[in-house]
A and B are shown apart, each in its own frame.
Chain A
Amino acid sequence: MTRTGGALGPTAPAGTWHDPGALRALRTLHRSGKLAAEYGAVRGLLARMPPADLPAAGQLLSRVDPRTVRRHAPDVAVVAVAVTGHSTVAPVVAPLTAELARHGLLLEARVAPYGAYLQDLMRPPAEGLPQVTLCLLDAHTVFDDVTVPWRVEDVESAARARLALLGGAVRAHQEAGRGLLVLNTVPLLRRFTHQLIDLRSRARLGAVWREFNCGLLALAERYPGVVTVDLDPLVGEGVPACEPRTAQYARARLSDALLAACARETAHVVRASLGRGRKVLVLDLDGTLWGGVLGEAGPDGVELGAGLRGEAFQEFQRVVAQLGSQGVLLAVSSKNDEALVREALRGHPAMLLREDSFVRVNANWKAKHDNLRDIADRLGLGLDGFVFADDSLFECGLVAERLPEVAVVRVDDEPALHPSALLADGWFDLFELTEADLARAARYRTEALREEFREDVGSYEEYLEGLGIEVTLRPPGEADLARVSQLTLRTNQFHLATERLEVPRVADWLERPGRHVIAVRARDRFGDHGLVGALFLRRDGGLLRIDNFVLSCRVFSRGIEGGCVAAVLDFARSTGADAVTGRYLPSPRNAAFASFYSDHGFTVLDRDPDAADGKHGKHAVHFRHDLATRVPAPAHLRLDAAFGPFDAPRNGQGEQS
């Protein structure tokens, strides 16, 4: 088999994908009382667990006190979720615990009493705000307001009234700044439609019900902090919407299976809100993007386009291309001859994905985990942003074992099932698509041109000189808010005080007096990088504080970060500040920039200048620049900074210095 060619070690975990032993191992941990102490092993066990075992895992995990887990694993990321809804909602806690744990998140759930959702949403903000509110709705959200005998008109007015109430409650929740709110659309049950015996009314009920659901979906369009999980596609895949006995006797109106599916989607939303969405999809070729073995069949002989299976592979390529068109970076890791692969990508008439669809094609005989590392290095992205899809049990198992941070999607020998396998976990879900997403792949390709240019010039300084980098700093316009928010949500490395801000919170920063958000744009002779960074500034008497500074990893090491600091110092000086402070809050991924401020002329403060207000992390390191010396912007930059309407543009600082 060419696909598994190369050196296979005797420890290769072939056959371990979807391991029925994983649940056994979890049960043993639970039985011996070690689940909290060994919580670090849970994510790996869940990754290997067949989906059918997850509900049982959720039951075990939800019986462990999150406080005990935190004592044993202080670094685990905790998500506080207030669970509320129209009926009995507690059964969602166990599946939600398991689904969040799959993404390395620990659930701290607070379950509201029966039917308390309107009060819960409208309640004034309290201390210890939950990060997320999950509000589960069901058919009784409408039908509780309808009495027998009823006509469609009665359901219509009940649905309208309920939607209006809910709309008001959602507005109150969002205006109070109470964080992310997850709602759901409500499946219409046959037990209601078929109580109407005339088909005309039954059709009208269907229409009325969809209007109600449209209203729920529209709430998510109106408020950036609201997500409505559409349950229709889940029910459409055969998940039963309701279990009549538990609905009747326990008021648990959504079935166990639907709650589990809804919990899965909710976990993806939470993951996106924490900036943990994936950015890169690395694909195998033989058996994944086409059928057959390229090395044996030759570039024209692979199964693609023609024939039943050939069409299925082409359909899968359509799905991959669609993801690629929205900014997911596509790459190839294939055990194959590079020349043959290039020939197939360029020449096969049925290929939808072409050579330039991929930001990187690694076709060689090295181990796939080494190839994934290589791709990550060349793109300058962390492996925790990667998804790897392969049909080989062996390759999937090996990558999962060697690179546990990579999400592994195993497609099997049935290509018609490839799309659902790839899409099962919403790996790439994000809140809003920005211009930067749409242009991302093209930007990474121009990066390859920069690389070539870099190889042609003598020194790195010459390279930077030759790039002709232009940097612009401006307050963001309305249209830029989504991108600024996205930078805070998705950037991990150059993110000096990692603070995730959804769009409304960025807008709030902009509106408050004495605060500035500054968007950083960059371009060079090869193209426009777009909006690549943001500074969050705050006036505090004579101090200008840099509360946070985020810069896309696309533009590291080009002096842009230094240029930004020089511009802030100039701005502080010209607006009468005595000093500028900077703040670094360590995160698992930003250690490389711990000394960023001291490298740029700031001194480390021995105490927290914000200690009095107690708002800032106690682990933060604070820095101060007293403005006595001028810090020049790197000379190779053309810098254009204007921080506010009162701040006249000052061009060419880099050239002046």
Chain B
Amino acid sequence: MTTVLADTTDFRTLLGEELGLHIGADDLDRPLADFPDWDSVLLLRMVTVVEAATGRRVAVADLLQARTFRQLYEAVAGR
């Protein structure tokens, strides 16, 4: 299952396909507050989607504290 979410491109694809949120590579380090479409509901949905896709548990409390999409990626990828 490790091929899923191998890198941030996979992560951006997943955000686009499952959550309808299209994030550019340049957007990874911008504050989440810059994205009016991003909200806590999407974050909760992301937990379900990532866990279903990777078969790994996500640290939800870490996700809630992430400030950028890169930090979100690191939390879901367990890095």
Contacts and interface: CB of A to CB of B under 8 A. Distances in A.
A647 B38 CA distance: 65
A256 to B, nearest CB: 5
B45 A59 contact: yes
B78 interface: no
Contacts of B43: 250
Contacts of B1: none
B22 interface: yes
B45 A249 contact: no
A246 B60 contact: yes
Contacts of A94: 41, 45
A59 B19 contact: yes
Given A249-B61, A249-B64, A91 B45 contact: yes
Interface in B24-44: 37, 39-44
Given A31-B22, A246-B60, A250-B64, A91 B17 contact: no
A63 B20 contact: yes
B18 interface: yes
B47 A56 contact: no
Nearest to B17: A27
Interface of A: 27, 30-31, 55-56, 59-60, 62-63, 88, 90-91, 93-94, 243, 245-246, 249-250, 252, 256
Given A90-B41, A250-B40, A59 B60 contact: no
A317 to B, nearest CB: 38
Contacts of A59: 18-20, 42, 45
B20 A91 contact: no
Nearest to A250: B44
B24 to A, nearest CB: 13
Given A55-B45, A56-B18, A245-B47, 19 more contacts: A27-B17, A31-B22, A56-B17, A56-B49, A59-B20, A62-B20, A63-B21, A88-B40, A90-B39, A91-B44, A94-B45, A243-B48, A245-B60, A246-B47, A246-B60, A250-B43, A256-B44, A256-B45, A256-B48
Contact of B60 (A27, A31, A93, A249): A249
Contacts of A63: 19-21, 37
Contacts of A88: 40
Interface residues of B, number: 21
Contacts of A93: 41
A401 B19 CA distance: 29
A31 B22 CA distance: 8
Q: Which of A31, A59, A256 has the most CB of B within 10 A?
A: A59
Contacts of A30: 20
B16 interface: yes
28 contacts: A27-B16, A27-B17, A31-B16, A55-B45, A55-B48, A56-B17, A56-B49, A59-B18, A59-B19, A59-B42, A60-B20, A63-B19, A63-B20, A63-B37, A88-B40, A90-B40, A91-B41, A91-B45, A94-B45, A243-B48, A245-B61, A246-B44, A246-B47, A246-B60, A249-B60, A249-B64, A250-B60, A256-B44
Nearest to B39: A90
A250 B18 CA distance: 20
Nearest to B47: A246
Contacts of B47: 245-246
Nearest to B45: A59
Interface string B52-75: 000000001100100000000000
B72 to A, nearest CB: 14
Provide the main secondary structure of the chain B interface.
helix
Nearest to B22: A31
A93 B22 CA distance: 20
B5 to A, nearest CB: 16
A88 B40 CA distance: 10
A243 B19 CA distance: 19
B13 to A, nearest CB: 10
A560 B26 CA distance: 71
A27 B17 CA distance: 6
Nearest to A62: B20
A63 B20 CA distance: 7
B20 A252 contact: no
B1 to A, nearest CB: 18
A243 to B, nearest CB: 8
A256 B46 CA distance: 11
Contacts of A90: 39-41
Nearest to B64: A249
Given A60-B20, A63-B20, A246-B60, A252 B44 contact: yes
Nearest to B41: A90
Contacts of B42: 59
B68 to A, nearest CB: 19
Contacts of B17: 27, 56
Contacts of A249: 60-61, 64
A54 to B, nearest CB: 12
Contacts of B22: 31
Closest 3 CB pairs of A and B: A63-B20, A60-B20, A245-B60
A607 to B, nearest CB: 46
A246 B51 CA distance: 13
B51 to A, nearest CB: 10
A30 to B, nearest CB: 6
Nearest to B61: A249
Contacts of A31: 16, 22
Contacts of A246: 44, 47, 60
Contacts of B44: 91, 246, 250, 252, 256
Contacts of A252: 44
A249 B66 CA distance: 14
Contacts of A250: 40, 43-44, 60, 64
Nearest to A246: B44
A243 B48 CA distance: 10
Contacts of B60: 245-246, 249-250
A456 B43 CA distance: 70
Contacts of B20: 30, 59-60, 62-63
Contacts of B48: 55, 243, 256
B27 to A, nearest CB: 16
A225 to B, nearest CB: 28
A246 B48 CA distance: 10
A30 B21 CA distance: 10
Nearest to A24: B17
Nearest to A256: B48
